[in-house]
Structure formats: C-alpha cells, structure tokens
Amino acid sequence: MPVRHQERHLTGRISWLRAAVLGANDGIVSTASLVLGVAAAHSTHSNILVAGVAGLVAGAMSMAAGEYVSVHSQADTEQAELARERVELKTDDESEHKELTAIYVARGLDPSLAKQVAEQLMAHDAIGAHALDELGISETLSARPIQAALVSAGSFAVGAALPLLVTVIASEARLIPLVSGTSLAFLALLGGVAARVGGAGVTVGAIRVLFWGALAMALTAGVGALFGTVA
C-alpha cells in the first residue's frame, strides 16, 4: 500500500501571517508611541489612558477597513482575470492549449511532453490549470478579505493592549521608561516569532522590528515633549 506524504509548506501561512504580524506590530508601535507622546507632553495619567484606549479602538477599526479594502481589491482582480480566462477557454480552446504548452516548455519540458501535460491538466481542470500556471493564482495564496480584516483588527487590539496594560500599572514617574522598555521587548519577541514561523532568521527579524519601533516611539515622544513645553 503506497505511503501518503503531505508536506506542509510555509507559503500556506502567508495570508494570515502577514495580517497578524502587521496588525500586532502596528498595535504595539502606534499605541506605545501615542502613550509616550501624550505622557511626554506632561498629561495626567487618566488622559494618557483615554488616549491609549481611543488609539486602540481607532487603530483596530482602521486596520480592519484598510486590510479589507486592499485585499478585496486583490480578490476582485483575481476574479476578473479568472472570468476572462473562462471566456477565452470557451471561445478559443486551441490557443489556450498552446499557451499552456508554451509555459511548460519555458519551464524546461520537452515540447511533446509539455503538450501532453497541458492536455491532461486541461481535461481534468482547465480553469484551475490556467489559474495556477498562467495567472499565478492558487487556493493557498488567494485573497481572503474578511479573514485579513478580522486577523488584522484582532492582532492590532492584542498588540495595543500590551503597552496599555503597562500604562495602567505604571506610575506617572516611571511610565515613559516602563512603556518604552516593555514595548521594545514585545516588538523584539514579535519580530523573532514572526521570523521563526515564516522560516527566516530570528535575530534579523527581531532587530528589524526593533529599529522601526524604537524610531517611531522616539519621534512621537519628541513631538509630545516639544508641544508640551510650548504649551
């Protein structure tokens, strides 16, 4: 009896991993930066918390809407391409066979074998063969707008909750160093985990996220301090 072997490839994680990492990263960076900017302007602890919670809600909704619109545009493009391909298969089947054969020849198959492969694949699932090999559209990598929106909003809220929790328990005197330090630690952990899940280098992933997070927080805190002094 033949042994069935199914490999799990990292590309299957791309759709949700991208949205989750982007959302969590934005949640930490934007909320921590907002908290630090307001704190640097010498605001009260309650005002800082209100600003942070408002930033969490607004950011989560913004992420959801942005991801949905962006990914839905991609999905619309994919569906339009597939619709056009279905029309071409009905009106000019022979040219579509030649087109698919040429793709396989370009990949290294012998012309006769490429023609045979194209015929068999089109007999089994013509639109599926052209979607994958001509258009580059596969079920694994296809656009899923609702999934992307929900993952982005949820991960943003989780990421934003981390610096907010620190803000709740930190005293006004220690708020800025505690929020800065813990947020950078969260970002390093996030970057490392994301790199690990995606099959990349953990250290490089952590440093990359750390750099941009630290820059964003420093600039926002600087702006807050400047306007707090002017006011």
Quick check: is 68 in a domain?
yes
Q: What is the pTM of this model?
A: 0.69
- The pLDDT of residue 178 is 93
Quick check: is 115 in a domain?
yes
**Count of C-beta atoms within a 10 Å radius of residue 152:** 31
- The pLDDT of residue 162 is 93
Give the single-character DSSP code of 12.
G
**Chain mean pLDDT for the chain:** 80
Quick check: is 1 in a domain?
no
- The pLDDT of residue 17 is 65
Query: Total structural domains in the chain?
Result: 1
Q: How far apart are CA 130 and CA 159, in angstroms?
A: 40
Quick check: is 113 in a domain?
yes
Q: How far apart are CA 153 and CA 138, in angstroms?
A: 25
| Residue 74 clears pLDDT 80, i.e. is over it | no
Cβ-based neighbours of 38, under 8 Å, separated by 6 or more: 47, 48, 51, 52, 224
Quick check: is 8 in a domain?
no
Quick check: is 90 in a domain?
yes
| Residue 10 clears pLDDT 50, i.e. is over it | no
- For 66, list phi and psi in degrees, rounded to 5: -65, -45
- The pLDDT of residue 163 is 94
Quick check: is 45 in a domain?
yes
Mean pLDDT (whole number) for 70-88: 79
- The pLDDT of residue 5 is 44
pLDDT tens column, 172-222 = 889 999 999 999 999 888 888 777 766 667 788 788 888 888 898 889 888
Range of the domain at 171: 14-226
pLDDT tens column, 30-72 = 999 999 999 998 889 999 999 999 999 999 999 889 888 888 8
Quick check: is 3 in a domain?
no
Judge whether 20 and 168 are in contact, CB under 8 Å.
no
- The pLDDT of residue 192 is 80
